[in-house]
Chains A and B, each alone.
Chain A
């Protein structure tokens, strides 16, 4: 099969199970394709021998009669997940060549489901960024326009899935790092409830916000991946939710309770926060989002005006809490045990300074400095403590909103993908562009991006859907119903 890169997860799994192709053939094809498109900058590392060995093992399981929705399917991991047999760099020079002696839980659970690891995907350094231009190795290009960013920090994951280099990939979302690149590249991505996927083996950025999730071409494929990725891991991650694993595909294609096949979302109340539809959002993005919402009305949903009054505050709150946690999480990179150590130094303090100055890029250093400052004696109460108080209020605002609606919808980002380099010298402009995704992360709620059309320069626009805690199944059902009625998610960038 020459065109198997156009198959999504479900189709590829079926083709492998039906022996129309094999896991080895799929892996070889996708490896070759990935290498052919290395100029996208999506992949950071391969281990062809290991990949093919995993594929052979999957083929053997299939030959033995086993079936599974991910069995034999090649996937790739954001370079934030430690992965045995591959270097894990977190997009940083600090961890160049670092080999982990263990797998992240998300990686091992996908492997147990029979998925094959194709390689490691580029990302912003330590997941800090929204354009994937903070990678220490190479910027990632947007397959829809190579001059533009793919979004970040899971930019490699988004670009690889959009360019049909891999049917699905893992990503991580701290303040929008799954949803925004999914929106920028026209794919589907979901960040589950905080704690739903184990953080064990994810190189930490901001512990209270980091969350793994899948990125794929459809809500259905995301549901399949998330089913394998999520679940309790309380012996290794204390913030993992002790809540049984669930099958996120169970509601797909089912009409909501009391609804009909013609109007499968009848009774669904979609809340539209007025703060997400104001002046700050570009008209082309708003137009695509509104068109998608009209489609939802046709599917039986009703639109409700709501308010999330502290949306603007989510930017300063996030950019205090996340750097604070990062400044501490990144202290372990000191040149002593692993990671980069400066070649020349005078004494211990000099070794720390040089190793860290050389190993960390400018955005990471900026956030370490911000975080160190806001935790300092005399500033802690005014910044960190205050931010935590507002964070709780933001979470309360969502609970208030969920008394009026079942799902919250709006844009993922205020604009389509910008040109590479356009915001490089303006960190604050980058931070402001996170306005619609940060509050969800601060509240720990599940959120996703669903392709909703195209905006300026024919660049993709995503619709953001946010659900209440543990409502990933309903979110995916809601997205799937939309994808049954539309084909935005099937659009492929030219040349791929």
Chain B
């Protein structure tokens, strides 16, 4: 159940209710019911075999790899893995659907229940899953370049998909995007999906409705094929405003499927419930029920990586990190590994966490880079953290060190500190000398302080720091100045 620590955010007095259906393309070598390869971007119809073309006499044979991917997701999200699930035919005519039906799962899906947890700001949210089922993708209709005709590319036909369906647990577009990001993180983390949203490997449909708090669920409209997190938020926000406007104007919402147009920022109805097809689902007689024995699940479990939430718990336990830090650092296996290396090598876990979530992430974001492309290695960062901890450099000076390391100006922390003269002045004799000089040159200020003006103290510290060219240890400067003023 959703943690309701805070009341749902209301939009013009309405509560927003969102549920998701996500199609994750499974990263298998071959298709779900044939041995044709699944490579993206090949010449049309070169990645389709007789089975994908639905030639007479061809039959589907289940790809066990696709089933294992489904089991992995179920294990990652705490779902029930059905001992027996059923493939069904969803019948409809479309030129890029070669058999005239899609093999999917209807009444008994392979993955049942489970949940996705994530932080929205510093609030923990949990979205319940209804199910995740295996199905095959259709081909593509190409309407350009054929002068009044349509081309059909069946390369994608038969590509394995896992359709992941949530309960209507989300209450804002921000929460929906956070859910989608968390799910995206999970499927890529466990290696079942490459997560490439541009290529359509991870596409979301959002079911959106609004209601006055306490009222039953409103009529939903389904926004199809949201393929970026940015569009997701825009589309939902637009849809919510549109629905509220309709209701306020006295119009009832009609159940419909809509598309988001990124150019106009609007959603537009594709079809309404009235022209919804009757898919005539029935169990596919070409495929016996999918039986998943317990030991198969155990085998898959044995090969699972440590999951984000397990890892986050371990980071809290081992390094004493706050839960927020642990969750943030487990955005990807690479990020988590970067943190752990830096924390271990420096012995400064919290400092490492702060630096990675702050300075490192900020720079990566600015350059639209991934942690895998970070120019400063975790060991190098650790060396710098040690120098902060032992007082060799100040925090501010350390940022200058990172600048140099990031740009490739230097690669050794100590060498950079040396070359840039960023070492803190820890020698009290030299510092005392500077303080004496500053006090002598600013006698009126010293008098003000002694007369009871505390502000003058800070000004004096600033002057000391300036005179030391920033190398003075601020704490030491503070202490020494205090002594001398007494």
Contacts and interface: CB of A to CB of B under 8 A. Distances in A.
Contacts of B58: 200
A331 B59 contact: no
A95 B282 contact: no
Interface in B99-139: 99-101
The 3 closest A-B pairs by CB, nearest first: A331-B100, A207-B285, A375-B280
**Interface residues of A toward B: which range?**
35 or more
Interface in A408-448: none
A331 B282 contact: no
Contact of B57 (A203, A206, A331, A334): A203
Contact of B98 (A201, A208, A337, A348): A337
17 contacts: A82-B56, A88-B57, A100-B55, A100-B56, A102-B57, A203-B56, A206-B285, A208-B285, A238-B61, A238-B286, A239-B285, A325-B285, A331-B93, A332-B56, A334-B93, A352-B93, A376-B280
Interface in B50-66: 50, 53-62
A411 B340 CA distance: 79
A207 to B, nearest CB: 4
Contact of B61 (A236, A325, A372): A236
A160 interface: no
Q: Is the interface of B mostly helix, strand, loop or mixed?
A: loop
A201 B101 CA distance: 19
B388 interface: no
Interface of A: 81-82, 88, 90, 95, 98, 100-102, 104, 199-204, 206-208, 234-239, 324-325, 327-328, 330-332, 334, 336-338, 348, 352, 372, 375-377, 380, 384
A98 B54 CA distance: 14
B59 A328 contact: no
A101 B99 CA distance: 17
Contacts, number: 102
A334 B191 CA distance: 38
A237 B58 CA distance: 8
A159 B93 CA distance: 38
B35 to A, nearest CB: 9
A239 B288 contact: yes
B265 to A, nearest CB: 31
B57 A200 contact: yes
Contact of B282 (A81, A328, A336): A328
A90 B57 CA distance: 11
A95 B57 CA distance: 12
A200 B59 contact: yes
B445 interface: no
- B57, B89, B282, B286, most chain A CB atoms within 10 A: B57
Contact of A238 (B50, B53, B89, B287): B287
Contacts of B280: 327-328, 372, 375-377, 380
A239 B286 CA distance: 6
B91 A328 contact: yes
B95 interface: yes
A484 B343 CA distance: 88
Interface in B271-295: 278, 280-282, 284-288
A125 to B, nearest CB: 13
Contact of B91 (A331, A336, A348, A352): A331
A298 to B, nearest CB: 43
Contacts of B61: 234-238
A337 B139 CA distance: 12
Contacts of A331: 91, 93, 99-101
A88 B56 contact: yes
A328 B102 CA distance: 10
B152 interface: yes
Contact of B59 (A238, A330, A375, A376): A238
Q: Is the interface of A mostly helix, strand, loop or mixed?
A: loop
B358 to A, nearest CB: 54
A237 B59 contact: yes
B53 A337 contact: yes
A327 B285 CA distance: 13
A332 B60 contact: no
A377 B278 contact: yes
A365 to B, nearest CB: 15
B282 A202 contact: no
B91 A375 contact: yes
Given A324-B282, A328-B101, 20 more contacts: A101-B55, A203-B57, A204-B56, A204-B57, A206-B285, A208-B285, A234-B61, A235-B61, A237-B61, A328-B89, A330-B100, A331-B93, A331-B101, A334-B93, A336-B98, A372-B280, A375-B91, A375-B280, A375-B281, A376-B280
B146 to A, nearest CB: 14
A203 B54 CA distance: 11
Contacts of B99: 331-332
**Interface residues of B toward A: which range?**
20 to 34
Nearest to A83: B57
Given A207-B286, A238-B62, A328-B282, A336 B57 contact: no
Contacts of B98: 332, 336-337
Interface in B22-81: 50, 53-62
Interface string B76-97: 0000000000000101010100
Contacts of B54: 332, 337
Interface in B200-222: none
Contacts of B281: 375, 380
Contacts of B286: 204, 207, 238-239
Nearest to A321: B285
Contact of B100 (A101, A200, A332): A332
A380 B91 CA distance: 14
Given A238-B61, A238-B62, A352-B93, A380 B282 contact: yes
A336 B153 CA distance: 12
Contacts of B53: 337-338
A98 B56 contact: yes
B64 to A, nearest CB: 12
Contacts of A82: 55-57
B55 A336 contact: no
Nearest to B60: A238
- A328, A337, A372, most chain B CB atoms within 10 A: A328
Given A207-B285, A238-B288, A328-B282, A100 B100 contact: no
A37 B55 CA distance: 32
Nearest to B56: A203
Contacts of B91: 327-328, 331, 375
Nearest to A324: B282
B100 A334 contact: yes
Nearest to B61: A238
A342 to B, nearest CB: 14
A94 to B, nearest CB: 10
Contacts of B55: 82, 100-102, 338
A100 B50 CA distance: 9
A206 to B, nearest CB: 8
A288 B284 CA distance: 41
Nearest to A210: B285
- A202, A234, A325, A336, most chain B CB atoms within 10 A: A336
A325 B285 CA distance: 8
A376 B285 contact: no
A403 B89 CA distance: 37
- B60, B278, B286, most chain A CB atoms within 10 A: B286
A374 to B, nearest CB: 9
Contact of A102 (B50, B89, B152): B50
Contacts of A239: 59, 285-288
Nearest to A240: B59
Nearest to B280: A375
A196 B98 CA distance: 28
Contacts of B89: 328
A96 to B, nearest CB: 13
A235 B64 CA distance: 12
A377 B91 CA distance: 12
Given A325-B285, A375-B91, A90 B56 contact: yes
Contacts of B60: 238
Nearest to B152: A336
